[in-house]
Every structure is written in C-alpha cells, then in structure tokens.
Amino acid sequence: MGEALRLLIENATATEMPTEHILRAAELIRQAAAPLGEHRRGRFDTASADDLLGGIRLYNPVTGEGSAFAPPVDMHREGDLAIGTCTLGRAFEGPPSFAHGGVSAMLLDQMLGYAVTTAGHPGMTVRLDTVYRSPVPLYTPLRMTASITEVNGRRVTATGAITTTTAPTTALVEATGLFVALRSDQAKRLFGPVLDRSA
C-alpha cells in the first residue's frame, strides 16, 4: 500500500490534468480511504506491523515502507558508517526542482539517529545544526552518510551529509546532531503509555 500511496502523492503533486479529472480522482481517493479508517489505532498504540525493540517502524516518515510520506530512505551500516539512499520526488520540492531545506534536515536527523542507535547509543535529538552548501536535486539518486564523533556520558554527537550517488564526496548538506540518552524516568514519562500498551 505504501508504494501505491507514494505513486498517488507523486502524481497528485505533478499532475497537470484538467480540473474535472482531479475532482473525479479526489472522489475515488475518498472512497478508498474510508474503509481504512473504520478500524484505526489510537495515539499510544503501536502499529501491529511494528517491532519497537527490533527497530521496525513501517510508517516512519523517512524510512517507512508503508508510509505515504517517506521517500523511503533505505539505511544500512558499513562498519562505523551509516549509509542511506533515496530519490526525492516532487512532493519534497522547496526551491523549484530542488528539495525543501526542512526535508534535508529531516533526512539527516533520521540518518544521525540511525547511526547512534545502531552503534548502541540510542537517544533523542536535542540539537541539529545543518549547513546547506548546495541545493539537493529532485529525481536524483542521493547518498547519505552519518557516524558518531563523540560519546560523552549520556550525550552523543554525530555528523552526516547528503550527496548525490554520482558525486559522493561533494556534500550538499551537512549536519551535526547532539543526542541524549533518556534516563529511565524520562523514558517512562515520555513513552510509558506506549510501552504499557505494547507490553
């Protein structure tokens, strides 16, 4: 379903069809959406397809295969380096033909988060600094990298960059993120209802 939704969003964003076609499509979309809404999970319920501890989040807005919104980014580790790949379509546009700056920050937040989590230092982002060196092109295969630069108690720093796959040494956007490991009282305060319901 995620793939179908992403095709829908891409075509809906790029379409130049006449208004009557768009109105007809809108009605069909409403008809398709209605049965899905008949049984929904609540705010604190995890998706039945998810495995929180195993890191499976089907509807994550960056990596989720089931997400209408995610590019989705494919991530893996090679040694100390986290690597991600994706191609951004029209829905991610900011400046004409290039990605929105907030989208680049979102991709890098997830990349850095993946780097720290898969290195055994899970935490939440408390700071993300981005440097925009060149616009990120749409419809162009992208490569992202991230790695840890410092571990200082509960605070972990990671850096990363977005490049194209054809010029992997030319950073278009760079980011440095600070992640903080939650104390048990913080984890309980923030995620207690979710953990209780998924136990």
Ligand X SMILES: CCCCCCCC(=O)SCCNC(=O)CCNC(=O)[C@H](O)C(C)(C)COP(=O)(O)OP(=O)(O)OC[C@H]1O[C@@H](n2cnc3c(N)ncnc32)[C@H](O)[C@@H]1OP(=O)(O)O
- Contact positions vs ligand X (CB under 6 A): 55, 109-110, 113-114, 117, 124-127, 153-155, 178, 180, 182-183, 186
Please state, as a whole number, how many other Cβ atoms lie within 10 Å of the Cβ of residue 61.
15
Q: Which residues contact 60 (CB under 8 A, 6 or more apart)?
A: 67, 70, 72, 110
Rounded least distance, CB 135 to ligand X, Å: 23
72 burial type by CB count under 10 A (0-12 exposed, 13-18 middle, 19+ buried): buried
**Cβ closer to ligand X: 117 or 198?**
117
Q: Which is nearer to ligand X, 138 or 173 (CB)?
A: 173
Cβ of residue 177: shortest distance to ligand X, in angstroms? 8
* Choice between 50 and 109, CB closer to ligand X: 109
Please, what is the minimum distance in Å from the beta carbon of residue 189 to ligand X? 8
What Rg, from alpha-carbon coordinates, does the chain have?
19
Q: Report in angstroms how near the CB of residue 117 gets to ligand X at its nearest.
A: 4
Q: Where are the beta strands (DSSP E) in the chain?
A: 74-78, 81-86, 124-132, 142-152, 155-164, 173-180
Nearer to ligand X, 60 or 163 (CB): 60
For ligand X, the closer CB: 77 or 155:
155
CA distance 185 to 194: 14
Q: Which residue's beta carbon is nearest to the bound ligand X?
A: 113
Alpha-carbon span 145 to 81, nearest angstrom: 7
Name which of 110 and 163 has its Cβ closer to ligand X. Answer: 110
Q: Shortest Cβ distance from residue 72 to ligand X (Å)?
A: 13
Least spacing, CB of residue 40 vs ligand X, in Å: 23
Integer CA distances (angstroms), 55 to 3, 36, 77, 135, 169, in order: 21, 25, 14, 31, 29
Whole-number Å distance between alpha carbons of 151 and 149: 7
